[in-house]
Structure 1
Amino acid sequence: MSAPTYHHGRLRQALIDAAADAVRERGPEDWSLRDVGRRVGVSHNAAYRHFAHRDDLVVVLSELTMARLVDALHQRLALVKGDDPVLRARRALAETGRGYVDFAISDPHLFRLAFTSTVATEPSPPPERDPYGVLSRVLDGLVEVGYLTPEARQDAELTCWSAVHGFSILCIEGPLRGAGDAERNGALEQVLVAIDRSYAATTGTVIGPDDLRVGA
């Protein structure tokens, strides 16, 4: 494999990019800082001047992956439009779930690195790098339009996150990993509809056959 080139003064970024490539090719565990240095074409001593330990790179990759996930969720939420505020809020939650699963499937090894690493990162990431915060704001929107009661809103992030994260893992390394797009998407819709109906039940909202799909 030929070593990637980098401009003078950009070795740190080159190491980060090479580490991301290593994770995507070999998984979240089977790589080292020495491997990353070799990919870039520098000695391990040169790499150590930017990252003293592999864990330092893991932290950076995890934070960057979380930021990319947040961007992906915002892009999905930007597609949610419509005049009905209740339907718009419901679709926002569904799109958040779809965006989360799509991101996990599209970049599974970095996704797993970000969520399974035991390396300590900052306990409260800023909003621009916090997918949990995105979900919180979407859930707050359901309360604002009267679709979800404040009492049921408490800790609703845990329910939603557990559902879509668990589904993502089933798709990456579980029984759904060999499923086709149609089968996987159909199963995900069942999960999202179940969450949607359970929240409607908290306020006694009567829901019709509205499709949670954006643009439906």
Structure 2
Amino acid sequence: MPEPRDRYHHGDLRAALIATGLDLTRTGGPDALRLREVTRLIGVSPNAAYRHFANHQALLAAVAAEVQDRMAQSMREHTVTTDAQELGARAVARLRGVGLGYVGFAVDEPGWFRLAFFAPEGVDRPDGLMPPPLSLLHEALDALVEASVLARERRKGAEWSCWSTVHGFAELAIHGPLRDQPRQRVHGLAERAIDEIIAGILGS
């Protein structure tokens, strides 16, 4: 468990609350975040936190949004690994990278993964935007259509087939029969699952 630290500076309490929330949820998931514990670790009273967050759910939503942003950044890093010149090949590699980045983040950060998509009901992004990981998936699928690789009539709803595949695989890798498998084997199986769903939505 994190120890109290000198991370709070006057005028930056909101950032300190989110940062400490990230520390707690990284290993413990959404259940580990308690407003009183966060303020104890920072060294301020719970009342001080209420100037920035109306309640526990508001803080949880802000921390979850930060996790989703970090997950999206990890996914972006997986989408810039191809040297393919052909537009269609780049679009396919982009979608593949989005999927592998999603699974990789989930396996590396299971506590944050649970917070990003399994927070309690009513905990929504403060900015009201679509979760960035899902936005990246939408963009990658749209790029397939623009590259004339995915037929426009097959695009509608394809995000749910893709997301359920990587999300389900991540759950198997974290909590299911793949949890004790070597990382290299998990990665190889993830590649196969993603390649097969891409082939399926492309009709190839």
User: How high is the TM-score relative to the length of structure 1?
Assistant: 0.84
| 1: CA distance, partners of 2:126 / 2:61 | 12
| 1: CA distance, partners of 2:32 / 2:136 | 31
Distance 1:99 1:9, change over 3 A: same
Select which of 118, 122, 142 maps to 1:119: 122
Select which of 1, 8, 11 maps to 2:10: 8
Distance 1:93 1:126, change over 3 A: same
Select which of 172, 180, 193 maps to 1:191: 193
Q: In the alignment, does 2:153 pair up with 1:151?
A: yes
Q: In the alignment, does 2:29 pair up with 1:34?
A: no
Identity %: 37
Contact kept in structure 1, 2:17 and 2:38, CA below 8 Å = yes
- Alpha-carbon distance, 1:32 to partner: 1.1
Where does structure 2 lack aligned partners over 5 or more consecutive residues? Answer: none
Where does structure 1 lack aligned partners over 5 or more consecutive residues? Answer: 206-216
Distance 1:5 1:90, change over 3 A: closer
Q: What's the counterpart of residue 97 of structure 1?
A: 99
Q: What's the counterpart of residue 142 of structure 1?
A: 144
| 1: CA distance, partners of 2:123 / 2:199 | 37
- The one-character-per-residue Cα deviations of 1:101-144 (angstroms, maximum 9, x if unpaired) are 111122211221120111242598447x5222211121122222
Select which of 57, 66, 69 maps to 2:68: 66
Larger radius of gyration: 1
| 2: CA distance, partners of 1:140 / 1:3 | 45
Q: What's the counterpart of residue 214 of structure 1?
A: none
Q: 156-165 or 105-114, which moves further after superposition?
A: 105-114
Q: What's the counterpart of residue 209 of structure 1?
A: none
Q: Aligned pair count? A: 201
Q: What's the counterpart of residue 54 of structure 1?
A: 56
**What is the root-mean-square deviation of aligned Cα atoms in Å?**
2.1
User: How high is the TM-score relative to the length of structure 2?
Assistant: 0.89
Equivalent residue letter for 2:175: E
Q: 72-81 or 101-110, which moves further after superposition?
A: 72-81
Q: 158-167 or 76-85, which moves further after superposition?
A: 76-85
